[in-house]
Structure 1
Amino acid sequence: MLPEKKWILDMTDGFRPTAVVGAAAELGLFDLIPDEGITVPELARKANASLRGIQVLADALAALEVLEKKGDRYFVPPKLRPVLSENSPETAIPMLRHRMSMMRGWSQLAWAAKAGFPAPKTSGIRGPDGDLQAFVLAMDVISREVADDVVRQLLPLQFKKMLDVGAGPGTWTFAFLRAIPEARAILFDLPHAVSLARQKAEQAALADRVEFVVGDFYRDELPSGVDFVWVSAIAHQNSREQNRELFRKVYRALEPGGQIAIRDIVMDASRTSPVDGALFAINMLVNTPAGGTYTLDEYREDLMAAGFSEPHLRIRTENMNSVILAHRR
């Protein structure tokens, strides 16, 4: 086989393990397996699923070494239990479920590329509410390991009250409050996200420093009287026109001299680097009407059009943890 042919075929084969592990996460199988292991008939009964389907899925998981198989019993390896247990602080389950939702969109990429907007997409086996919950909690999965470090790189920051726009489960709000003990925060998002953020804030013992505000940044004005606004992983889901409107709302919410910080992927001028950014633009094509990934020059233009001054790249990474800062005059 030509090496080029093998490279192409190997590169495009990655969907299979993703689908196997993701299906088990969507079905909640891992938490149904006790420490002493389980047989397939027992697992199928507990999952309310077919014997044939669970047999094939469990064997595939064992082949991938995600489960261990001993005789007719299946076990979650002890080293994977924290990652595959839904209630563990180290859980990856929400992101695995969210990736299955992403795959449903990605499978229609040819249609979306031809039309220029997403194809109709069905919900997962957990339903639309389950997909939504997985999305919000997945944001915590990918951010909680890096948030404190990114915030440290931004220091010193001087603000008394921050606004976290579209804050999701509050992961970044809490990182800033840990870094700046005298600061307070307003956490702003839709009802389902705010509800989850309240729970997370209680767990983090930070609820007394957070004001929870329900709202939609596409429709509503933002809470005002703040001197720092965090816009994290939002710009990519918008068109540039939508970003300009959001930045104008941020400008109006900020006190004079305040700062906006935008965390997102920042593309180079060719739009081919970083690779994660080029691939994430595909994710926006198949999942949003007009989202994409943007260059630093585009962010500068849009921030200055909204009234901000001195937009500059404070942190550059190859992923979504680049940060752009700008000032309100």
Structure 2
Amino acid sequence: MKKELSAIDAKYEAQKIAFGPMYFQAVIALRDLGILEYISKHRKGVEIDAIVANLDVTEYGVNLLIEAAEILGVLEIEDEKVKITKTGFFLLKDEMTRVNVNFMNDVCYLGAKAMTESIKNSKPEGLKTLGDWPTIYQGLSILPEPAKTAWFEFDHYYSDNAFPDALKIVFEKKPGLIFDVGGNTGKWSFACCDYDPEVRIKILDLPVQINVAKGNAAERGLLERIDFHEIDLLDSSQKIPKGADVIWMSQFLDCFSKEQIVQILKNAWQAASTETTLYILEPFFDNQNYPAAHYSLVATSLYFTIMANGNSKMYRIGTMKELVRLAGFEVVETYPLIGDSYHTILECKKVP
């Protein structure tokens, strides 16, 4: 049974929420000013005077940020020396944390104030802080920096770790032609080409993303093995072509509402034969081993609301399986948390 908070503790938790944005930006300043890195190099601690003397930051600024970091448990002061804590170490050195912090700061932070309007209007009202597009997907290749780098690092971090085990699963049946639906920059397609020198790929995506993927494929000399098909899957008149041995959707369906997912999967159903295998790779938030992953994935749903398209989210595994069923497929195999990743693969077959 969950322990009931006292009124004093509950009030403290409420203040964490109230001042959360300020504390977040204090950590950003600690990092960007080099204070956190400098302190981390002194395992036995360092005096504040030494920090001021060695960095281009005033004593006022150093004290201000250290006091905030001490509240957060990022730094601690002992015998008048400042030391980095385990939490501070993860903020500085952990890749997942670095990617998440940059994504929140560079992509989502300014737009987050539009949360209420985004939910009311079912539109990503915060996206205006980055550009004038109906959804973020039309603008991915031309996002302003540092948002562009932060977005792609975030996207790739939460997919690339799954690729080695995903490739083994997909190629167990030796497919000749794979449709990479929502292929983005082409990273999965290129990994497939590296894994099997005989496989052919067709990337299906919006025109702006196809241009990026085609340029990346050209750099790798893969244009003879990879074809490209421009498609807007929210337009029901545009059909996925037939002929694939495998239809692959990697971190793609979470970009859509439940109704849109069913529409897209029905499009895949009309393109599939009874021999076609549909693979869905997703990080389902209720199917994680660690609370940090669950916490991060639920926060990602809020990004979809304010910045991406206003109506999509990270899903529960049971919800996705039900949407698959509604579209005319059945899940014939579930591969949970493959490799060193947060992802599950649903292997699906068309129900005639």
Aligned pair partner of 2:37 in 43, 52, 65: 65
**Residues 1:235 and 2:207 aligned together:** no
Any conservation in 1 of the 2:180–2:202 contact (CA below 8 Å)?
A: yes
Change in CA separation of 1:260 and 1:153 when aligned onto 2, cut-off 3 Å: closer
Q: 1:148 to 1:115 in 2, by over 3 A?
A: same
Tell me the alpha carbon deviations over residues 240-259 of structure 1, each in whole angstroms, 9 at most, x when there is no partner. 11111100111122233111
Query: Matches of 1:5 and 1:121 in 2, distance apart?
Result: 33
Q: Which amino acid aligns with 1:265?
A: P
Secondary structure, counterpart of 1:159 in structure 2: coil
Greater relative contact order structure (CA < 8 Å, 6+ sep): 2
Distance 1:282 1:274 in 2: 13
Matches within 5 A, 1:161-180: 161-180=177-196
| Deviation sequence 1:43-99 (CA, Å, 0-9, x none) | xxxxxxxxxxxxxx7994322439x999799xxxxxxxxxxxxxxxxxx99x94785
Q: Provide the TM-score with structure 2 as the length reference.
A: 0.62
**Post-superposition shift, 1:9?**
6.2
Matched, 1:187 2:168: no
3-state SS of paired residue (2:273): strand
1:305 counterpart (326, 331, 339): 326
* Inter-partner Cα distance in structure 1 for 2:33 and 2:347: 45
Cα offset, 1:176, TM superposition: 2.3
Amino acid at match of 2:143: G
Paired with 1:125 and 1:290, the residues of 2 have a C-alpha distance of 18
Contact 1:139 1:168 in 2 (8 A): no
TM value normalised by structure 1: 0.66
Counterparts of 1:255-266 in structure 2 under 5 Å? 255-266=273-284
1:103 aligns with 2:109: yes
1:235 deviates by 1.3
Kept in 1: contact 2:335–2:345 (CA 8 A): yes
3-state SS of 2:334 partner: strand
* CA displacement at 1:291 relative to structure 2: 0.9
List runs of 5+ in structure 2 lacking aligned partners. 1-7, 42-50, 57-97, 134-138
Q: Go from structure 1 to structure 2 and tell me whether the alpha carbon gap of 1:206 and 1:111 turns closer, same or farther (over 3 Å shift).
A: same
Identical amino acids, percent of aligned pairs? 17
| Equivalent of residue 292 in structure 1, options 307, 313, 324 | 313
Please give the root-mean-square deviation of Cα atoms over the aligned residues, in Å.
4.2
**Map of 2:234 onto structure 1:** 218
Is structure 2 residue 179 aligned with structure 1 residue 158? Answer: no
Which is further off, 128-137 or 179-188?
128-137
How far apart, CA to CA, are the structure 2 residues paired with 1:12 and 1:315?
A: 37
Contact 1:263/1:320, CA 8 A, preserved across alignment: no
The structure-2 alpha-carbon separation of the partners of 1:116 and 1:214, relative to structure 1 and needing over 3 Å to count, comes to closer
More helix, by proportion: 2
Measured after TM superposition, the shift of residue 319 of structure 1 is: 6.6
Aligned to 2:136: none
